Chains A and B, each alone.
Chain A
Amino acid sequence: DAGITQSPRHKVTETGTPVTLRCHQTENHRYMYWYRQDPGHGLRLIHYSYGVKDTDKGEVSDGYSVSRSKTEDFLLTLESATSSQTSVYFCAITGTSGGRTGELFFGEGSRLTVL
């Protein structure tokens, strides 16, 4: 199994508060991703990173920011959480070297509830 952990796994917060989710990998993979999963929408890409300090927006980036100061950590921040950001958030990683095929490896997910 890919070494990827998300924290916290569950969080309940109130509207307007800041929230940071952390994704940590031990695989030294170049690419890291944040997705959100909601019923009827599948997985939607929020942001992704293609290297340290290199990030790009996904399909649903409004209201989210990310940072990657080192290879192993990718942080997702909700500056001021809203109820529409209640979701399950998945981190994923992939590598491109050594014959890797680009398949994603997922963390266990972080369930966020914004009241």
Chain B
Amino acid sequence: ELKVEQNPLFLSMQEGKNYTIYCNYSTTSDRLYWYRQDPGKSLESLFVLLSNGAVKQEGRLMASLDTKARLSTLHITAAVHDLSATYFCAVDLSGTYKYIFGTGTRLKVLA
């Protein structure tokens, strides 16, 4: 059974600081996705990571994938208030298009 764990679950950080969110998963997969959810809203896709060593960057966010370690990271550089949201990683179960989500990391950036 595929398990996906994120940590931390809650993150409160000051503007301008850097931090990393971790996503660990329990079985082999080469496909990992990051999503963002604003309060009361739906989820939107942030990054698609489809191979070992994949790195994607968008603005102050950078995601990477290490399939050997079964680990993805979402790095936040010089956080700003607009990044406050809940971030989810999701893993495709062995290429089956069955996606299992982590529990999410609720990020609050303080001005």
A interface residues with partner B (beta carbon < 8 Å): 31, 33, 35, 40-45, 48, 50, 56, 58-59, 90, 92, 94, 96, 101-109
Q: Across the interface, do B33 and A59 meet the contact criterion of CB distance under 8 Å?
A: no
Beyond A90-B43, A101-B48, whether A42 also contacts B97 by CB under 8 A is: no
Residue in chain A with minimal CB distance to B48? A101
Q: Point out the residues of chain A lying under 8 angstroms from B88, CB to CB.
A: 42-43
Give the distance in Å from the alpha carbon of A113 to the alpha carbon of B49 in the complex.
36
Q: Which residues 14-44 of B have a CB within 8 angstroms of A? A: 31, 33, 35, 42-44
Q: Across the interface, do A90 and B101 meet the contact criterion of CB distance under 8 Å?
A: no
Give the distance in Å from the alpha carbon of A112 to the alpha carbon of B6 in the complex.
27
Beyond A107-B42, A108-B42, A109-B42, whether A102 also contacts B97 by CB under 8 A is: yes
Give the distance in Å from the alpha carbon of A50 to the alpha carbon of B33 in the complex.
19
Q: Point out the residues of chain A lying under 8 angstroms from B102, CB to CB.
A: 42
Give the distance in Å from the alpha carbon of A93 to the alpha carbon of B27 in the complex.
23
Residue in chain A with minimal CB distance to B90? A104
Q: Which residues 85-107 of B have a CB within 8 angstroms of A? A: 88, 90, 92, 97-104
Say whether chain A's binding surface is mostly helix, strand, loop, or mixed: strand
Q: Across the interface, do A96 and B103 meet the contact criterion of CB distance under 8 Å?
A: no
| 30 A-B pairs whose Cβ atoms sit less than 8 Å apart in the complex | A31-B97, A33-B99, A40-B103, A42-B6, A42-B102, A42-B104, A43-B88, A43-B90, A45-B100, A48-B98, A50-B97, A56-B98, A58-B98, A59-B100, A90-B42, A90-B43, A94-B97, A96-B97, A102-B31, A102-B33, A102-B92, A102-B97, A103-B45, A104-B33, A104-B45, A105-B45, A106-B42, A106-B43, A108-B42, A109-B42
Q: Point out the residues of chain A lying under 8 angstroms from B90, CB to CB.
A: 43, 104
Residue in chain B with minimal CB distance to A6? B42
Q: Point out the residues of chain B lying under 8 angstroms from A35, CB to CB.
A: 101
Q: Does chain A have a CB within 8 A of B13? A: no
Q: Point out the residues of chain A lying under 8 angstroms from B11, CB to CB.
A: none
- Closest beta carbon of chain A to B110's beta carbon, Å: 22
Apart from A103-B45, A104-B35, A104-B99: 18 A-B pairs, beta carbons within 8 A: A40-B103, A41-B103, A42-B6, A42-B103, A43-B104, A45-B101, A48-B97, A56-B98, A58-B98, A59-B100, A90-B42, A96-B97, A101-B48, A102-B33, A103-B33, A104-B33, A104-B45, A106-B42
